[in-house]
Structure formats: C-alpha cells, structure tokens
Amino acid sequence: MMKPVGRFGDMTLSEDSIRPASSLRRSWRSAALVLALAVAVPVSASPASAEKLTIWSGWPDLAPFYKRVGDQLKSKYPDLEISVEAIALREHEKRLALSLPSGAAGDVIEMEVEAARYLEAGVIPEPPAAIVDFVKANYDMTRVKTAMYDGKIFGVPLFQGQGALFYNTELLAKAGLEGPPKTMADYTVYAQKLAQRDASGALQVSGWSLRLSGGGSGIAEKYWTILYNHGGTLLEEKGGKWRAAYASEAGRTALKQYLDNVVVYRTVTPEMKADAEAFELGQTAMFIRESWVIGDVAKKAPNLKYATAPLPKGTLMVPVDLYVPNKGPKSQIAWDFVQKASEPENLLWLLENTAWVPNRKGLDYSAVLKKIPQLGAFVNVPADHVFFTVPAISPASEILTRLAARLEKAFTDKSLAGNDVAIDAFLKSAAEESDKILAREDLLAKP
C-alpha cells in the first residue's frame, strides 16, 4: 500500500488560495449560475448502457479500493468504464479549486472540510432524496457535519483520519516503561526516558516525534490535538459563529510541552527524521498519527514491534466525504458508485487494506482486528473518548495555515521556553489574527 501523499491538513496554500472567501464565493456563484443554466438533464434520467465514470481522489492508496468498487458496479452497468485519478492531496485540492466552479470536475470526488467553501458557493448540487435517507440511516450525524451546509446533506461520508499514539514496544521495554503514557504529562516523562544519545550527547533516537515543520495547516491540527488533550480547543462555537479559544491556560500548557521537548529537554529536534519514516527506522520511540501508518509499517518495516493507544481525552477527526458534483445522465451511476463504496463488505476491505477507518456505523471489525490488532486504538476507543473536527466554515484552512506558520517558529524559540508571559503574548497575537479572519467573513462570535 502506498503512503498517502499530503495530509489531513498539510496543504501548503499560496496567497491566491487563501484570499478572502467572500471574493471566492462571488466567482463561484457566477460559475454555478452558468452551470445551472447549461444543465437540463434530470437526475432520474435513464443511464446510458455504456459510460465512463471518473473518480477523483486525493489519496493514492485508495486507487485499488475504487477500482474494486467499479468492478462490482459492472454487474449493473456491464459496459461501464471506471477511470480512477488518485493524485497527491495538494494537487487534488488544486484541481478541485480550478474545476468545480466550471462544472469540469470528476464524476465522483473526495473532499474534506474544504467542501464548506464549495457548498456555500452553491457549486455542488443536492443529492437525490434516496441518498439523503441512506446517510441519515447509516451514519452518526457527528460524522456528517462536514458534508452538510445550511442543514442539508450534500455528500456521503467514506472514511476518517483520526489520531492515536504509536509506540515502539521494544524501546519502551528497554527504557523500563510498561505500557503507553496515560496522561499528557506522562508523554514528556516518557520522551525523556526514551530519548537516546551518543557519547557526545547528540540525540540519536527521539523520545517523541512531535510535528515541528512542514507546509500547511497540519502543524496547527497536531497542536490542536495536544491542546485538546490538555483541556482546551482551538476554535469554539457560540450561536453559530466562532472565535479563537487557544489563548488560554490550556493553550499555554500545550505550547510549553512543545518547548520543553524541543528546547529544554531536547527529546526531539527539527533536524531529525520524523513521523512515520523515523518510526519505521527505529529513530523515534513514539508519535501521534492517523491509522494509515499501520499499512505503511506493514509495507516498509514488517518486523517492527509496536502497538497503538488512544489519546487521553480525544482526537481530531477529519472525515473524507464523497460527492457527485454534476447533474446529468451520469449522476445516477455516480451515486450508485458512492453507495456501492459504502457497503459494509467494501468498507471492511478498505480498513484491512488501507487502514483508513470507515465512517459508517454498525460495522463488525472483529475479523479485521484479529489480523491487525493495532487498529484497535482507532475502532475500539473508550466510551468517553471525544472526536472533534475542524469547523465546516470557509476560512478554516486559512486560520490553520496562518497559525501553523507562527507555531513552526515558536516551537524552537528559546526566548519562549519557561517564559509564560511571552507565551501568552504569542498566543494572544495569533488568536487576534484568527479572529480577524473570522470577522472578515462575518463569522466572529461575540465574547
């Protein structure tokens, strides 16, 4: 299985891609009007006997899954040709931005939380009533929020990215540690005991591979996860609007944890290999990541001894939803494809072969867990474990991306280490920028 390129939140945005959503809405609405006038074929039209269906994905490791679904659909449409165009996530997001306003997107497309801007702009048509009923019957509505706008359902949830702790069981045993850390304070204690240095004191194995660099909003999303497990949140909703909430005691504690590990105790450095690569090479003892790592380890480090554990309180959950962006004679086939992809048998195949966790409720994971016990931290979480997600609002990506740029510098800033006043000032300035973006879009909640 290929490692997914990109992230849930790692997109590098250009100045054009983070321009005010209000200007984007104007252009998209104009394009949507042209599209609406140009399309006159109802969704219920009889499908052609021979069709080509194009599937656009931002996760290359999902290509075999979509091909499998397409092959199954041929029992209903014998002459159906399926073209799966699964490319790097950043490139996928760019092609959506270019194609959706003009109605030139694929027949079935994946989108995450960025769908909010397109739904708000009116360039995604509503699905047939039968699809809405299907979603309501088979999905927890907390998993459907990113596929909704103005109280209406537009897409079908497929899978979700959610974080858990990966830890090297051999390195923990060597350090005299039994089981994973239980609290966020334990994480730093473990990191200090797990860090390995050479005779000169140079760090050879990081105790905890924190997300310290890399383009896009992924840095902010990882900080948000740690922030949440310290009892805070990045954005809070009040009366349907939002405001930044991370200039708080929890926000300070979360940032101090980064600074303690990077600057004070040096259990990790930005120069070291990081993330899944470091874990697979035995160069970090633990890190927080999504479930795709399980498939990546199976391919690249099959002899690695490791386990997973849920985070102390909760984790950021980013759903990936399927949409049919165009009406017309092929839309019926496209929705049939989406429903076929959402059948329990296919979703369990998806979990076993890609490690991405399906969104549909009521699935029996027992057979897959016998083969891949590390998936347990993702599908069998405690009853009080909370899944939270990025708000489905158009400026969300901009807010996260701008905060990420600030955090990347802060994580290595020695002047912030041990200086609560300086940390509070940093967070206050960043939160003010976030609130200005929300205010610009008329989304800022009153204090």
DSSP output for 401-412: HHHHHHHHHHTT
Split at pLDDT 50, 70, 90, the class of 380 is very high
Q: What CA–CA distance (Å, rounded) separates 348 from 355? A: 9
Dihedral over alpha carbons 207, 198, 303, 355 (to 10 degrees) = 30
Report the pLDDT value the prediction gives residue 50, as an integer from 0 to 100. Answer: 52
Distance CA 375, CA 323 (A): 27
Give the distance, in angstroms, between the CA of residue 144 and the centroid of all CA atoms in the same chain: 14
In this prediction, residue 14 has a pLDDT band, given cuts at 50, 70 and 90, of very low
Is the confidence at residue 330, as pLDDT, over 60?
A: yes
Measured from the Cβ of residue 244, the count of other Cβ atoms closer than 10 Å reads: 26
Find the DSSP H helices in 122-200: 129-138, 169-174, 184-194
Residues 158 and 296: their CA atoms lie apart, in Å, by: 20
- Residue 85 tokens read as 């165009």
CA–CA separation, 225 and 174 (whole Å): 28
Answer whether residue 31 shows pLDDT above 70.
Answer: no
Confidence category of residue 233, pLDDT binned at 50, 70, 90: very high
Q: Between 218-229 and 396-410, two packed helices, what is the crossing angle to 10 degrees? A: 80
What are the start-end ranges of the E strands in 28-69? 52-57
Strand, helix or coil for residue 145: helix
> Each residue of 54-96: pLDDT tens digit?
999 999 999 999 999 999 999 999 999 999 999 999 899 999 9
Tell me the C-alpha distance between 93 and 102, whole Å: 15
Beta pairing class for 203-205 and 152-153: unpaired
Token pair for 369 = 């867990």
How confident is the model over 400-443, as pLDDT tens digits?
999 999 999 999 999 999 999 999 999 999 999 999 999 999 99
| pLDDT score, position 97 | 94
DSSP-derived secondary structure for 161-221: EE-EEEEEHHHHHHTT--S---SHHHHHHHHHHH-EE-TT--EEEBSS------SSTHHHH
Q: What is the pLDDT of residue 21?
A: 40
Report the pLDDT value the prediction gives residue 22, as an integer from 0 to 100. 41
